[in-house]
Chain A
Amino acid sequence: MKYKLIANIARSLLLANWKQTLVAAIGVTFSITMFIALLSFMSGLNDMLDNLILNRTPHIRLYNEILPSTRQPIEGSVQYKDHYNFISSIKPKNELLQIHNIGAIINALKKDDRVLGIAPKITTQVFYTVGAVDLTGVINGIDVEAENRYYYFKDYVTSGNYIALKNTPNSIILGKGAAEKMMAKIGDVIQVITSKGERMPLKVVGYFQSGISDIDKVQSYASLNTTQKLLGESNNYITDLQIKLKNILLAPQMAKEYKELFEVEAIDIKTANSQFETGTFIRTLISYAVGITLLIVAGFGIYNILNMMIYQKLDSIAILKATGFSGRDVNRIFIFIALSIGIFGGLLGLVFGFGLSALIDQVPFNTTALPTIKTYPINYNIKFYLIGSIFSLLTTYFAGYFPARKASKVDPVVIIRGK
């Protein structure tokens, strides 16, 4: 009953000055709109840039590095056990790049429920022969389906069908740059020479464009089988295991764990790409700073308008107090006014913010660096809408707080005697 009366009075004061109210509400609407649009857009861009790397980078990569043995034979000798042994010119031992005991490792990983999926891979150096010239290149042998499922391989195959890589024997998807250099069209057969001198003809079934032109000039993809055949290795020859986790935050810890468990090299995404996190963080920080600044400016607008309203309504405040409304009631009336401006303006701002984001989402954005992006990226995260509404309420509350306190302190005697 009491709140209804206060709401009633507040509403009447609001409607009596509806033009001022509207200006104040538009201020909030505008700032919330910009806040939502800005954050959605910024966060969309962030996600896009991150995904450029994250989507293609395994959370943990297991591989075998050829290193000199850490334990030299002389250390096993009983005779020289208590000596310092200086050995010069140590060479790596002759061993393959393949991960040993691959079947057991894959089985163990499949049982680990922190792991989302595994995509095995073979990386090998090759030469593409064009006439008399040899171009250096890298062929990635991949499990086509797993690669597509976990690393969105399809998105980067700009011409041809990615699945043809699996279905056509001895096929290759060339990097766009490499294909241009060789003038190889889809359906052509190109010659590839391995580092051991084996030569093999491969049929081009598509082009691949990563967005990073240096990569596109050298990299190509073939299926695991084709690559194993090319290298003359058996079908358990795998050089890399790309692991995608359910929770990316566990990557550094799990990389360490796997390194010990499987006796292989393991690198996690955080260590490999730490600069991305910094960039993302700074961009997010800037967008929040701008958004909150907008809201604070709108808050000052509300503050001014409420202050003006109080000066205009001194008589009304005085008589309300004279007839038995306490300072607290008057305070509540003005807080109510401020909050309703905040709620009304804020809600409208959320709607317009969504509209503006949707509009930006339609603006064409073509860049050769990002073959999959056609329009500006937008992140429609409910989080921004929540933060926007909470902040609009907070700023309007504080903008209303001081004028309301002033109104509650109005001395009716001064006003009434002043007439």
Chain B
Amino acid sequence: MRKHADAIFEFVSLGALLVALAALAALVFDIVSDGAGRFSVQFLTNIASRNAEQAGVYHALMGSIWVIALTGALALPIGVAAAIYLEEYGSRSRTARFIELNISNLAAVPSIIYGLLGLGLFVRLMGMGQSVMAGAATLALLALPVVIMSTREALRTVPSSIREGSYALGATKWQTIWNQVLPMALPGVLTGLILALSRAIGETAPLITIGALTYIPFAPDGVWSKFTVLPIQVFNWVSRPQPEFKANAAAGILVLMVLLLSMNAIAIVVRDRQQGRGRI
């Protein structure tokens, strides 16, 4: 009897897991079967159009690349600097504890709230308008907690003997960090950054909130240009009643997922390289 109950429970638990995996399979199947027919070279090189057959994602793809590149450029130095402070300098102080608590709370703030912050602060108060810069600044704030947490983890994997060896040779604290600790932690830092950016590239709500346009027929030509991004273009197509636009949305999702999976693949390659390098 007890044995039976145990076997049934194992089966039910496994079932819960398999249902989740089956749903993922259904999702992938749904999108591929809806979107594969619309996926073509023209779809990548054409811009938005009122005619579903001729519409493409070029402008949105370029918008996403602009925004994500700039987000990375903003989030990397600030995130790494913050992580170095928390891990190497202030780890025991009360201020550092407070900052840590604050970061872990920020990581769970809904992304749409960051959109409202971006709207009030970057778009209005700082007068950036609905530009690539305002979008990237908003997403950088959103990505920072993740970059900081993963960088700290990477810094923690550097053995303390490396630091002690450097100090013993007369290096200062910063020389030790810059010349020894950071280079060793770099692959881990980059992996964390790419994962944070791959999350940011799928973000829709904060960019809609700051006013990134849903219909914009050109690619950005600079950081002050107006823009749209892939997920917003997808959202725009999903919201239209005509079935042709639904197919466009599915094809747009395919482009987004390919972009996401390649970013994840790069992250995995970087991580494996790190593990391949000699441990001390």
Partners in one complex: no
Interfacial residues, chain B to chain A (CB-CB below 8 A): none
